Amino acid sequence: MNAAVNNLRNYAVITGGYWAFTLTDGAIRMLVVLYFHQLGYTPFAIASLFLFYEFFGIITNLVGGWLGARFGLNTTMHVGMLLQVFALLMLTVPTEYLTIIYVMAAQALSGIAKDLNKMSAKASVKLFVPTATDNTTSNLLFKWIAILTGSKNTLKGVGFFLGGLLLSVYGFNGALYVLSGCLFLVLLLTWFLLPSDLGKPKTKAKFSQIFANDPAINWLSAARFFLFGSRDVWFVVGLPVYLTSSLGWDFAQVGTFFALWIIGYGVLQAATPKLLKNTPRGHSPDGKTAQGLAVLLMLLPVIMAFALYQQLDPANVIIIGLSLFAIIFALNSAVHSYLIVEWSDHYEVAMNVGFYYMANAGGRLTGTILSGLIYQQYSLIGCLITSSLFVGAAALLSTKLPRHA
C-alpha cells in the first residue's frame, strides 16, 4: 500500500511540474508569434524563429533519453526547467537586440528545455506502474499516460491564452518576467519533493543504445513524425497569421482560439481510454487503432481546403473543421503516447521515449518550416493539403505496427 501511495504521489508531483512547464511553453510560443508579427516580420521569418527550437529538440530527445537513463530522470527534468527560465530571460533584452539569430538561439534553449522535461515526465510514468501482465495493468498505464498527456495539452492551450493575455496587459518583457519567476518557484518545489534516484538504473546506459532496435518502436516513431508534421504545417505560422491578416482577429481573439483548441484537444486526450474502451475483448489500443484513426484524420484537412477554395465562410470552415481535426488528432496522439511506453521495458523506456520524441520533433521541425513557406506561397489552402498528405503517410506507416492476436 505504501508503495502504491508513493507512486501516486510521485506521479502527481511530476504531473504538476509538467503542467507548470507547459504553461510557459505555450505562452512563449504565442508571445513570439504575435509580438514579431506586430514588429512586421514575414510569415516565413516568424517560422524561422522556431527552427532551432525544433532542430535542437531532435538532438535533445536522442541524447536526452541516454542522459535520463544514465543520470536519472529527476536530473534531466529539472535541468530542463532551469534552461527554460534562462530562455525566457534571454528575450527580455531591448528590442534592438532581438535579431533573428538571437531569438533563434533563445528558442533553441527553450526547445532543449521542453524536450528534456517532456521525455523525463513521460518515461517516469512507466516506473510507477507494475510490469504489464494483463489487460488491467495495460489499461492502467494507458489511463495514466492519457491523463498526463491530455492535461499537458490542456495547459498548453491555457498557455496560448496566457501568452496573448500577458502580452496585452504587461507587454513582452513583463510577460517574460512573470513566466520565468513562476517556473523557477516550481523548480525548487519539485526538486525537494521527488526522489533523487528517480529513473537512475543500476548499470550505466551506453551511448550506442540511443537508437531503437525494436522494429515496432521504429515504425511508430516514423508515423509520429508525419502525424505531428501534419498539425504544425498549418498550426505554427499559417493559421495565426491567417486569423490576424485575413480575418482581422486581434491578439486576444487569436490567443483565445488557440487556447480553446488546445484545451479541447487535451481534454479529449485525457478521455481517450474511456472513448476507446470498446476495443475487442477489452484490449488496450494497438497498431490497428492508430492506423484507423490516421485514415479518418486524413480526410479532414483536404475537405477544409476544398471548402475554402469554394469560398465558403472561412471562419466557420476553420472553427468547425479544426474542431473535428482536434478530436481525431487527440485520439491518435494519445494512442501513440501509450504505445511507446507500453512497448518499452523499464530499463529502456527513457531511451525509447527519447528516440520516439526525436521523430516527433523532426516532424514538428518539418511542419514549422513548411508552415511559413507554404503559407507565403499558397496561403492556408496549401498548408491544409500538405497536412492531409502527411497524415496519409502516417496511416501508411501504421500498417506495420503490431496488432493484438
CATH code of the domain covering residue 337: 1.20.1250.20
Give residue for cell 493575455: 165
Residue 11 to residues 3, 5, 105, 193, 345: CA-CA distances in angstroms?
A: 12, 10, 32, 11, 18
**Are the CB atoms for 88 and 180 separated by under 8 Å?**
yes
Question: What confidence score (pLDDT) does residue 302 get?
Answer: 93
Per-residue pLDDT tens digits for 293-324: 999 999 999 999 999 999 899 889 988 998 89
Give residue for cell 487535451: 266
**Which cell numbers hold the place of 260?**
480553446
Cβ-Cβ contacts under 8 Å for 18 (sequence gap 6 or more): 117, 118, 121, 148, 152
Q: How many CB atoms lie within 10 A of CB 296?
A: 16
Question: What confidence score (pLDDT) does residue 200 get?
Answer: 59
**Which cell numbers hold the place of 53?**
527550437
Cβ-Cβ contacts under 8 Å for 373 (sequence gap 6 or more): 44, 47
Segments forming the whole domain that contains residue 316: 2-400
Three-class SS of residue 1? coil
Three-class SS of residue 50? coil
180 located within any domain: yes
405 located within any domain: no
Q: How many CB atoms lie within 10 A of CB 59?
A: 15
Give residue for cell 480575418: 247
Question: What confidence score (pLDDT) does residue 256 get?
Answer: 79
Q: How many CB atoms lie within 10 A of CB 136?
A: 11
What residues in the chain have per-residue pLDDT under 50? Answer: 1, 133, 207, 281
159 located within any domain: yes
Cβ-Cβ contacts under 8 Å for 134 (sequence gap 6 or more): none
**Which cell numbers hold the place of 64?**
536526452
What is the distance between the terminal CA atoms of the chain, rounded to a whole angstrom?
34
234 phi, psi to nearest 5 deg = -115, -20
Question: What confidence score (pLDDT) does residue 1 get?
Answer: 46
- Overall number of domains in the chain: 1
Q: Where are the alpha helices (DSSP H) in 236-348?
A: 238-245, 251-275, 287-309, 314-342
Question: What confidence score (pLDDT) does residue 357 get?
Answer: 79
* Burial grade of 40 (CB within 10 A; 0-12, 13-18, 19 or more): exposed
- Between CA 338 and CA 202 the distance in angstroms is 26
